[in-house]
Chains A and B, each alone.
Chain A
């Protein structure tokens, strides 16, 4: 049993590395789906895991959300992230740094759970990678994926801490994420329709710059 505790976080770390270096949307979506399934499975490995929540988690994060993303991808016809703000090799290095930071933090936290430091370190890495992807990628869809990764990281952190919310709250959180991704998906399609591209980078019409300033 204990081996699983080691393997799952390691898988998360690996997924982070792949996420940060992949440019194809489809890969990203698949990886996110993988993360979602892992998140659903993980609590079951420990004692006191709730089967219902696990099932809902797997269904929503592992299946529904990736499908939604896939549909949005198809509708908006984006295949890959072409010009990221931060290059892929640099991204990989950064993820390694995040990983290091995650371990550094996890070591210092007063943890007493069995899953312990590894899960927390992985959680931090995932979380930071998510934030990084939101900040460093131009396509709106990638940003949605980044947000999902961020959210996964938080959830992983919660699992690592062995803290469980009440059932309603867990479900509420899931529902929120679901709706959020749904709306974002719609928004991505709308942006695609209106702007003929989904570079979030080009969404710069609303500003307070003084007149006549050239936008950077």
Chain B
């Protein structure tokens, strides 16, 4: 019941928004998001056995991997939809003032967003590889038009690349799924629980295709080409969702395929995870150096964090992956929303054109700086702890490499962010927009508080544990 509710609420709401053409937009969006969150919470506390989809057993007391993703998605969507309404107004106003052409209509955006939520929910709830594939492909379809919100040439291009590359990738995943079913004994289902005794040879082939397919959707380098385009061109709230939720959903595919590995092949699979994790870190590091566009920088940071998550899976860090994903999602969402505000006020995504954010938009500047530090795992960011455990698991050699790459990424990101935040600002082009951008910091601030408090609590607990 609850599960079907989780699925139907967003879809119904999407339909409703579409039919009502923008009337009651805010109410429907918020209530749908709220209901979704409440239902998720309900599932969590009730712990309905029927929705036990599949927990990865990494030797830790992880409740549900899929459920974790669902919870993150739900929470993120609620926060983003709270942000969205006022953002839409400000964006429209800014477009008006700058004389830009009109983008997608509001209700299309909202209904697509709700649809997007529905597909992501389906992904998180999927119980077998077939459904998972359908759901992941559906997320692509629901999110692609969102990228083209502003209907500019570049956003169209980003959407096209996103569509084509992700479909290609997801096609590979379909092939992988076929191969997986070939690997199984005749007549067995593809449910996550049932996939156990796959034929190793077939499984390898299946694994490679699934890894490439879902890895592409996750944005692992060198499959990441679409990611910076899509994430930078999408409007800020959509970027937040793409980076915060969608990547996690895709990661679910990777987690599940690894979990399906027959005995003796886990090492083989882990090798891929580690290798692509490191490559992702490497790519992210070198693409952030010399980056010219701050939203693209954030996108590469997402590549980095997906790399880290994959590394955590590869090094058997257990529940940590989920923790990392959760806090990455929150932090990244906050950063994307802030980036959206800065973009709103400055009207450009070019790093060199943005200086003195702290002076011109003090709150956004503060958020931008703090967010950068948190995403790079500076304490009290919870990511610090997850990265710490990752390094511990990885051993001194790989740990050293990971830390070095993280350091490079930090240096490059800090350089950009500090350069943007400090310095003297040019006078505001439209003071009204600046004012609006400052007002749009409520949700990011809330998220920042949330992250810092949970991080500080984690820190206090750790300190207390060792001080005694």
Are the C-beta atoms of A163 and B182 separated by less than 8 Å? Answer: yes
Q: Which residue of A lies closest to B300 (CB)?
A: A208
Task: Assess whether B86 is interfacial by the CB under 8 Å rule.
Answer: no
For chains A and B in complex, what number of residue pairs have CB atoms within 8 angstroms? Answer: 106
Task: Assess whether B161 is interfacial by the CB under 8 Å rule.
Answer: yes
Are the C-beta atoms of A180 and B233 separated by less than 8 Å? Answer: no
Are the C-beta atoms of B134 and A169 separated by less than 8 Å? Answer: yes
Task: Assess whether A85 is interfacial by the CB under 8 Å rule.
Answer: no
Tier of interface size on chain A: 35 or more
Q: Give the dominant DSSP class at A's interface.
A: helix
Task: Assess whether B309 is interfacial by the CB under 8 Å rule.
Answer: no
CB distance from B400 to the nearest CB of A (A): 27
Q: Give the dominant DSSP class at B's interface.
A: helix
Task: Assess whether B181 is interfacial by the CB under 8 Å rule.
Answer: yes
Number of interface residues of B (CB under 8 A): 45
Are the C-beta atoms of A147 and B141 separated by less than 8 Å? Answer: no
Q: Which residue of B lies closest to A190 (CB)?
A: B156
A206 to B154, CA, bound (A): 7
- Residues on A with C-beta less than 8 A from B413 are none
Q: Which residue of A lies closest to B233 (CB)?
A: A206
Segment touching B, from A37-45, A75-83, A153-161 = A153-161
Q: A173-B133, A195-B153 are in contact. Are A203 and B174 (CB under 8 A)?
A: no
Q: Which residue of B lies closest to A112 (CB)?
A: B186
Contact among A158, A169, A203, A208 for B160, CB-based, below 8 A:
A203
Within B118-138, the residues touching A (CB, 8 Å) are 128, 130-131, 133-134, 137-138
Are the C-beta atoms of B144 and A183 separated by less than 8 Å? Answer: yes
- Residues on B with C-beta less than 8 A from A163 are 178, 181-182
Task: Assess whether A215 is interfacial by the CB under 8 Å rule.
Answer: no
Are the C-beta atoms of A191 and B174 separated by less than 8 Å? Answer: no
Contact among B178, B189, B287 for A157, CB-based, below 8 A:
B178
Q: Which residue of B lies closest to A182 (CB)?
A: B141
- Residues on A with C-beta less than 8 A from B160 are 140, 187, 191, 200, 203
Task: Assess whether A150 is interfacial by the CB under 8 Å rule.
Answer: yes
Are the C-beta atoms of B174 and A154 separated by less than 8 Å? Answer: yes
A77 to B303, CA, bound (A): 38
Where the two chains meet, the residues of B that have a C-beta atom closer than 8 Å to any C-beta of A are 128, 130-131, 133-134, 137-138, 140-141, 144-145, 148, 151, 153-154, 156-161, 163-164, 167-168, 171, 174-175, 178, 181-182, 189-190, 199, 201-202, 228-229, 232-233, 287, 290-292, 296
Can you list the 4 inter-chain pairs with the closest CB atoms, starting with the nearest?
A: A172-B134, A169-B130, A203-B157, A176-B137
* Given A180-B140, A194-B153, A203-B160; 6 other pairs, CB 8 A cutoff: A154-B178, A176-B141, A183-B141, A183-B145, A205-B157, A210-B290
